Amino acid sequence: MRDAIPTTAYPAARLSSFYFSYYAVLGAFTPYWSLYLESRGLSVAAISVLMSLWYATRIVSPSLWTTLAARSPNPIRWLHLGCALALGCFALFLLPLEHAGLFAVMLGFCFAYNAVMPQFESITMSHLGTRSDRYGLIRVWGSIGFILVVSLFGWLIDVRRLGVGALPWLMLPVLTGVFASALSNRYAREPEHHPVDQQDGFRARLRRPQVIAFFVAAFLTQISFGPFYTFFSIYLSEHGYATATQGVLWTVGVLAEIGVFFLASRIFRRWDASRVLMVALFSASVRWLATALFPDNTPVMVLAQLTHALNFGAFFAAAMQLLVRFFPGRMNGHGQGVFYGLSSGVGGVAGALLAGQLWRFGGETAFLASSVIALIAAFIVWNWLIRPGTSTAQLGDD
């Protein structure tokens, strides 16, 4: 993509619509899909493997899709193709598939769906240009979509007694909305092919200690979220929470996250993104500790979910700021691909599989391990990105 352009006007509604629909799908998938798989008769171990595909495909598909888009004379078609493939694969869940069929369809859906967001992040940044601090005002609509679907689907499944088996039918129209939104969006400028010297510059940046530390911290953060993303709804069920109540707990976290995205531009005018990142990771450590020790205490669980504002909302907003700093202009698309591939991809697989192994000793053990891992990530950010002499401010200057 061409270097970011200073812009005052950008297609906020079109950009926001994609985040809204994309994360609305995740509002159904993240809290309820493991319950759906459980309703199909799968064991905890089998669910762990299937859910790990969500993260495993992130190892390859984000960087592959951004690379193919960068080499294409019409890169936006790769966004359209990814959304179309995701919709087509997901429709197959309506069939009475056995375990092998579920694995194959899950693999195809996850690969396609995970491919599109890094490309769209680059599209968004191409429109925002030097106003990257306004990213939160666009991204917040993803959180709004997530929260609406979590609440609505929880009510439909539990109160209206549709049952979790109806989940694929409920999600299909939302996925259609993702595809429709993709068709309405485009780059601010058409990306260029990436010359060799730019690729060399990108690889040189990847070798910088601060950049390595950032990616390692992001990787560990995703591992710490493994028990939450994979088994949190099952964990709540084990402790007597009804499906509708589970939806409320998921909703509380995202409501807090929405507030952070609205305030993001003010936050980053006052505090450096590295410091925000460290606070976010420390809050994650506290959150998982509380989740492990007080699962039957509803007020404590609500407070723990409220910290989602920091350990997801602030973390993600800070990460986007740092990615713009580490990989400016035409390098940002590749930087996004590495970020999604390494953190959500490799880290997500490791987190889901580790959660599956630790779950044999109880959910409390899994969340205690998450707390320690998040604390290590916070230390890495402090030592390599914040400590005197390790400022990241100069990284975008060359």
Q: Reply yes or no on whether the pLDDT at 49 is more than 80.
A: yes
Mean pLDDT of 296-305: 96
User: What pLDDT score was predicted for residue 10?
Assistant: 81
Domain 12-190+197-396: give its CATH superfamily. MFS general substrate transporter like domains (1.20.1250.20)
Tell me: pLDDT of 312 over 50. Answer: yes
Residue 397 has pLDDT above 50, yes or no: no
Q: What value does the mean pLDDT take over residues 352-360?
A: 90
**Per-domain boundaries in the chain:** 12-190+197-396
Residue 362 has pLDDT above 90, yes or no: yes
HEC sequence for the chain? CCCCCCCCCCCHHHHHHHHHHHHHHHHHHHHHHHHHHHHCCCCHHHHHHHHHHHHHHHHHHHHHHHHHHHHCCCCHHHHHHHHHHHHHHHHHHHCCCCHHHHHHHHHHHHHHHHHHHHHHHHHHHHHHCCCHHHHHHHHHHHHHHHHHHHHHHHHHHHHCCCCHHHHHHHHHHHHHHHHHHHHHCCCCCCCCCCCHHHHHHHHHHHCCHHHHHHHHHHHHHHHHCHHHHHHHHHHHHHCCCCHHHHHHHHHHHHHHHHHHHHHHHHHHHHCCHHHHHHHHHHHHHHHHHHHHHCCCCHHHHHHHHHCHHHHHHHHHHHHHHHHHHHCCHHHHHHHHHHHHHHHHHHHHHHHHHHHHHHHHHCHHHHHHHHHHHHHHHHHHHHHHHHCCCCCCHHHHCC
